[in-house]
Amino acid sequence: MSDTWSEFYGALLQALDNPDWKKGLDALFTVLRQRFLFDNVVIYRAEASSSLPEAVYARALGRGRRAEAEAAWGEGIANLVLSEQKIVHELPATPLAEDRLANPHLLGLPFHTADGYGALIFVRFGGPPYTGEQIQQATLAAIAVAHLLDRHALRQTLSQLEAARHRAQLQDDFLAAISHDIHTPLGFIKGYTTSLLRSDTRWDEATQREFLTIIDEETDRLVTMLDRLLDSARLQQGMLPMEFQPVRLEALIRDVALRMQTRVPDLRLTLDLTEAPPLQADTVRLGQVLENLFDNALKYAPGAPVKITLQATPQKQTIVFADEGPGIPPQHLPFIFERFYRVPGESAARGTGLGLFICREIVRAHGGQISVETSPGKGTAFRIDLPVKPLSGTAEAGKQTVKEAS
């Protein structure tokens, strides 16, 4: 085997092994162009030989590249190759034209993939015609293209299946956890209610108040759990209602902080809030985001100091919610905002795995972003960036759903 063919086969194998199919094609065509000259290369795909082709890859590698050359992608020959399913070598109609861009030599090769048809097109301006050996190399390249596209489709399918398996596992874990988490407050409510209703026992006033307080707290916990389930379902369907109006984040943060300090008297909270102009937001939903972050800190960093910072620029306003708790193991950060996700090993912390997912979706509905930084043993900081300018139509629309606003 000649060195030329050996190098070409090596490029074919490397392209097939490359997990990024486009980079694999880039490398293959770079080597192939050293074997025979071409200026443009394009790959067309079609679901059937008679359907309209779609360009899925194109590169202009030509000599003296110009806009006119880069616009020549051989659509006509692609249709011919796909319809007749044969190699087409098309010579220029005006071979004597002085401008080589008027002398395109076109080579089209058909290929089949698992889910359709394709055409590999080479465009060479100014000649000479393709030789038999060059057509052989181009034919092998077309076979490699088919394999690359099939591998890419297989990887996508496997990725989708893995994502579906992961979601199914999260849902299974969620159902197991939620059945326990719902049963726990119901057990408290049932147990203390039954105790209060016993006719053979008389409880003093302090004990009755203690029992009723527990029932009240567990009822609130159950209501919160069910509300999050409903919000999660609405978010999945794009039907969570949003009502946008001018909101001062400083005032909103202070209101939520006051409610939390009333609920948790020993909460160690520091506020560092910059005065900022109002922005378009849903007061209730943004308040829900902050409450979810408080709940998260109270569950996973009980007793740890919490600090909320508000910073403002002309383009955006940023809330940083930081605690000094144990932090989140870094391997869990990519999944922390996923629906149903709970950090393994934190089973003592009761929850649905929906709070941070709901936070992310509400922030996104405002055109913003939420991210998290953590240092094990030093704490966790959630950062919320909200744009100052309202989303298109937000100020006028008022009432919207997450689906409409996102």
Domains of the chain: 3-159 (3.30.450.40), 167-237 (1.10.287.130), 241-405 (3.30.565.10)
The predicted structure's pLDDT at residue 133:
87
Distance CA 354, CA 57 (A): 40
Report how far residue 283's alpha carbon sits from residue 289's, in angstroms, rounded to the nearest whole number: 10
Residue 284, amino acid: V
Beta bridge partners of 310: 273, 319
Rounded CA-CA distance 400/240 in Å is 8
Whole-number Å distance between alpha carbons of 72 and 67? 9
pLDDT at 346: 52
Q: How far apart are CA 406 and CA 400, in angstroms?
A: 10
Query: 119-152: b or e for each residue (b if 16 or more CB lie within 10 Å)?
Result: bbbbbbbbeeebeeebbebbbbbbebbbbbbebb
Q: Are 145 and 120 in contact (CB under 8 A)?
A: yes
State both tokens at 405: 């606003």
CA distance 388 to 367: 10
d(CA 24, CA 147) in angstroms, rounded, equals: 11
Provide long-range contacts, Cβ within 8 A and 24+ apart, for 101-104. 101/66, 101/68, 101/69, 101/72, 101/125, 101/126, 103/127, 104/72, 104/74
Q: Which of 274, 284, 254, 285 is nearest to 360 (CA)?
A: 285
DSSP result, 142-156: HHHHHHHHHHHHHHH
Q: Which amino acid is at 362?
A: I
Residues 6 or more apart whose CB falls under 8 angstroms from that of 323 comprise 297, 301, 304, 305, 306, 307, 379, 380, 381
- The Cα 122–Cα 116 span in angstroms is 20
3-state secondary structure of 124: strand
Please tell me the number of Cα atoms within 13 Å of 57 on its side-chain side.
22
Determine the pLDDT at residue 217: 85
Helix (H, G, I), strand (E, B) or coil at 283: helix
Q: What is the pLDDT of residue 151?
A: 86
Q: In what order do the strands lie in the sheet with 88-90?
A: 54-60, 40-46, 116-125, 104-113, 88-90
One pLDDT digit (tens) per residue for the chain, 406 residues: 456 567 777 777 777 777 788 888 888 888 888 878 888 999 999 886 666 788 899 988 765 444 444 445 778 888 889 888 999 988 876 655 566 666 788 999 999 998 889 999 999 887 788 888 889 888 988 988 898 888 888 888 998 898 888 777 767 766 666 676 677 788 889 999 999 999 888 899 999 999 999 999 889 878 877 877 777 777 766 777 788 999 999 999 999 999 888 888 899 999 999 989 999 999 988 998 999 899 889 888 888 999 999 999 999 999 999 999 888 888 888 888 887 777 765 544 555 677 888 899 899 989 999 999 988 888 999 999 999 865 444 444 455 655 544 4
